Amino acid sequence: MPKHVVIIPGDDAAPEAMAPAVEILKSLALDLTFTEFPSGVEGVQQYGSRGAFDAALREAIDRSDSTLFGSTNGTTGGLNHLRWGKQTFANVRPARWRPGFRSPLKNPEHIDFVIVRENLEDLYMGLEGDLGLLSSLPVTSWLTRKPLDTTPTGKFAIKVITEEGSRRIARFACELARKRKAQGGRGKITCTSKYNMLRDSDGLFRRVVEETAKGYPDLHYEQYIVDDFARRIVASPGDFDVVVMPNLYGDILSDAAAGTIGGLGLAPSGCYGETYAYFESIHGSAPDIVGRHIINPTATLLSAIMMLEYLGFEAAASRLDQAIVHVYADGQPLTPDQGGSASTMDFCAAVRRYL
Ligand code: IPM
Ligand code: MG
């Protein structure tokens, strides 16, 4: 059975990375078929409305084995469906330095860790509103022992951490660390959250991860409060293997992690659920460079490699990975974010030569 993937190019400069990346995927001549959507602005025009475009994306996603998603500024929908609709609870964000990556750190050689970000809970559930709405809630601060004052004009946001949600991300992280250990990895799980201050919510997350890790005696377990971890990610990123954390910290710290290896242009991600996974670069839609064809397609290509692995095309994934490694080892042609002056297409052409 051929595998079928949906290509969503996204908005602003993201389609400029997606188009040549998809050409490369096609050149691999795999048993892989594609449904390709237009970019956000064209899609809304073509389908008549944002709603119709979103509905078409959802239907296509439901018929597919996976999706490669270009960054969105909100014009292209689909993200809600890909995350909450498909219950892709584990956001895997590798930070791996390769020779030629323009890291700002002096010794980036040992950076090879993966952030496993819980992807569906925490402050990301859209539960916000006027403070006054909470007036009938019997909540008292464990810190000040005072009830919530809902009289000021203001807003609230609700953070939800569940035991089940924490357990499944903890298991996922442990399984990943085990898999990496079998391939020579450190066999280490690091848990981070603000468990000293958010004692109930982040405290639950930490407790569940710690308990889960006990079921993996072959792995080393450690934990850091998230502010301390933020320093460590800059000071000693080479110490980490698999790091598991709630949603919002994962969003913020995966950008920081990308910074340690040389920037967002190099940082891929995959969002995995029980029955579906989709793949996207960590970076945004780069509106500042739209139309210039200088966006670094590496993040999109590395995300595509994660997708190929997920779909069972391991050999092709490894070939593509090696081709990218070769181009960076050569040190040219690279895009401006990596100190070069090449276009997105020049870079992709070099990858194709190595392929
Ligand atoms: C990311 C992005 C998204 C997030 C935005 C676009 C909603 O920042 O994938 O890291 O916060 O999850
Ligand atoms: Mg982000």
* 43-60 pLDDT, tens digit each: 999 999 999 999 999 999
Residues 49 and 79 in one domain: yes
CATH code where residue 197 lies: 3.40.50.2300
User: By alpha-carbon position, which residue is closest to atom 3 of ligand 1?
Assistant: 251
Contact 173, 193 (CB under 8 A): no
Residues 166 and 27 in one domain: no
Residues 108 and 215 in one domain: yes
Backbone angles phi, psi at 177, to 5 degrees: -65, -35
- Ligand 1 within 6 A of 251 CB? yes
The whole-angstrom separation of Cα 113 and Cα 240 is 5
Backbone angles phi, psi at 252, to 5 degrees: -70, -50
Residues 305 and 173 in one domain: no
Domain assignment present for residue 138? The answer is: yes
Sign of the torsion angle spanned by Cα atoms 287, 293, 294, 299 = positive
Tokens of 287: 């509106």
Residues 255 and 270 in one domain: no
CATH code where residue 342 lies: 3.40.718.10
Q: Which of 222, 239, 261 is the last residue of a domain?
A: 261
Contact 180, 156 (CB under 8 A): no
Domain assignment present for residue 118? The answer is: no
Helical residues (DSSP H) of the chain, grouped into ranges: 14-27, 40-47, 50-62, 79-80, 163-182, 201-214, 226-235, 247-261, 298-311, 314-330, 344-354
Domain enclosing residue 148, as ranges: 123-158
Q: Which of 237, 261, 285 is the last residue of a domain?
A: 261
Q: Which ligand is nearest to the CA of 76?
A: 1
Whether this prediction's pTM lies above 0.85 is answered by yes
Return residues with CB closer than 5 A to ligand 2 (ion).
251
Number of domains in the chain: 3
Domain assignment present for residue 46? The answer is: yes
To test ligand 1's pocket by mutation, which of 251, 255, 278 has the most ligand atoms within 8 angstroms of CB?
251
Ligand 1 centroid from CA 246, angstroms: 13
Residues 194 and 88 in one domain: no
Residues 268 and 226 in one domain: no
Which segments in the chain show pLDDT lower than 70?
A: none
Residues 296 and 327 in one domain: yes
247 Cα nearest atom in ligand 1: 12
Ligand 1 centroid from CA 21, angstroms: 21
Q: Which of 229, 245, 261 is the last residue of a domain?
A: 261
Q: 307: buried, middle or exposed (CB in 10 Å: 19+, 13-18, 0-12)?
A: buried
- Ligand 1 within 6 A of 122 CB? no
Residues 301 and 325 in one domain: yes
Q: For 164-213, how does the pLDDT look when each residue is reduced to its tens digit (9 = 90+)?
A: 999 999 999 999 999 999 999 999 999 999 999 999 999 999 999 999 99
Domain assignment present for residue 180? The answer is: yes
Tokens of 345: 């297409």
The whole-angstrom separation of Cα 125 and Cα 127 is 5
CA 195 to chain centre: 23
